[in-house]
Structures are given as structure tokens and as C-alpha cells.
Amino acid sequence: MVAGRVGEGDGYGGYRTRLVETLQQKGIRDLAVLRAIGTVPRHLFVPESVRHRAYDDVALPIGGGQTISQPWVQARYLELAALTGRERVLEVGGGSGYQTALLALLSDAVFAIERIPSLAHAARAALEASGIRNVTVLVGDGTLGWRPFAPYDAVLVAAASPEIPGPLVEQLAPGGRLIIPLGDRNAQVLTVAQRVGPDVRTSTVADVRFVPLLGEFGFR
Ligand code: SAH
């Protein structure tokens, strides 16, 4: 958990407050999640060319053919993760680093994996400029997870996969939650998997559309 300061007094507070109100109107209830969105300077995580839209509830291009997800989707993810501030979190598909920043405020430590080095580089810079320190951005194939830091209390996958990558289940702590869009390249269902003893229980939440998870246990 990061104390105070992040995003404070940067002149964008009014825009963040409006975004928070929009998300509340669209059904987001978790106060910790809303507080995090009201705190993180999203404009630092998007390219200059789309900065004027940083606090709109829309997906935006971040380069490399990738997108930063719509804030409403990110807020739903975070509600589903039900974080208490004590978790060790793995994020697959770190992209812009914005979701990483939100996770950093809601958990103890975040490990984000991104396969495109230039995005990982920009994400690290934006996280540092935001004053967020309890994060590690790694470059690699996130479908393999990241064994040295496992197990994770929560795993959030921000790209669409045909099935749940096996290594991510293996690296999930008992009782831990994994959130992933499952489906084909065009349409997916947001799915929550929970590790209960030796079993994995899944439930589905909503229809979504994400960029593909490209890797050994995702799309080839
Ligand atoms: N949460 C991000 C969303 C980025 S979109 C944000 O807030 O910006 C999904 C990201 O997943 C893209 O950046 C894409 O490059 C990345 N990705 C796709 N397959 C991956 C893989 N196997 N390992 C790590 N990252 C991957």
C-alpha cells in the first residue's frame, strides 16, 4: 500500500473525481477501488497524443498495437480481485502500467509481466513518476507466470486466452483468485478462477473484448 501523495495536487484531480463519479454511476461500488482510481494519475500512463482523453471511460491506444483498457473494465477486475492490501499480485500484460499502479495501491506487492519491451519501459517510467514503488515490471512471456516470486494471492490477466495457462494456476496460492478473459480472438467471457484445495472453481462475469495473450500457453 502506498501512502498519500500519489497524484496529489497535479491539476488533474477534478478529472479524476469526474471519472470516479462516472464509474459509480456505472455500478462500481468498491470504495478502495474508487479511491485508487481517484488517486492514480492516469494521464501519465497514456501517450501524449491521447492525453486529453486520459480520464474518459474509454480504451486508448498505447503503442505496439496494444490498448489500455477502459477504466470501467479495470475497476471490475479490481473489484473481483477483492484485495485487502496484504496480497502479492501477479499481473500478466502490464501494458501501460496503469492497472499495475492501481494494484500497487490495493495490495502489498505487484509483479507485472509485459512481453513488449518498449511498453514495459514506458510503464516503469510512469510508475516511477507517480511515486509508486511496490511494483516490479518484468519483460517476458507472462503465460509462464514468474516462478521466483510465486505463489501469488491474486493473478490478473489483461489479455484474452483460449484457456487458463497451467503455470498460472500452479503459481496461485491456496484460496487465491485468478481473473482472465477466456474465449477466441474476437470475444471473451471474463472468468474468475479460485483455487480451493486441489480444485479450481470457475465462475463467469461478463462479455468482454481484449487483445490476445500471445505466448506458449496463450494464442500462438
Ligand atoms: N492492463 C494493461 C492492459 C494492456 S493490454 C493496461 O492497463 O494498460 C494487454 C497487454 O498484454 C499488452 O500490452 C500486450 O503486449 C500484453 N501481452 C500479450 N501477451 C502477453 C504475454 N504472453 N505476456 C505478457 N504480456 C502479454
d(CA 6, CA 104): 11
Pocket test for ligand 1, best of 74, 143, 180, 213 (most atoms within 8 A of CB): 213
Residue 94 sits at φ, ψ, to 5 deg, of: -65, -30
Cell representation of residue 133: 514503488
Across all residues in the chain, what is the average pLDDT? 95
Residue 158, classed as helix, strand or coil, is: coil
* 92 Cα to the center of ligand 1, angstroms: 6
d(CA 38, CA 30): 12
Strand partners, 202: 193
Tell me the whole-structure pTM to 2 decimals: 0.95
What proportion of the chain, given as a percentage, has pLDDT over 90? 91
Pocket test for ligand 1, best of 68, 74, 111, 114 (most atoms within 8 A of CB): 114
3-state secondary structure 173-216: EEEEEEEEEEECCCCEEEEEEEEECCEEEEEEEEEECCCECECC
pLDDT at 9: 78
Helix (H) / strand (E) containing 113:
strand 109-114
Q: Does residue 3 surpass a pLDDT of 50?
A: no
Q: Does residue 35 surpass a pLDDT of 70?
A: yes
58: amino acid identity, one letter: V
* 195 Cα to the center of ligand 1, angstroms: 23
* 9 Cα to the center of ligand 1, angstroms: 30
Angle ∠(57,62,63) on CA atoms, nearest 5: 155
CB atoms within 10 A of CB 207: 11
As for ligand 1, residues whose beta carbon falls within 6 Å of it are 62, 66-69, 92-93, 95-96, 98-99, 113-116, 119, 141-143, 158-159, 211, 213-215, 218
* 180 Cα to the center of ligand 1, angstroms: 12
Quick one: CATH architecture of 13-208?
3-Layer(aba) Sandwich (3.40)
pLDDT at 112: 98
Cis amide leading into 117 (omega within 30)? no
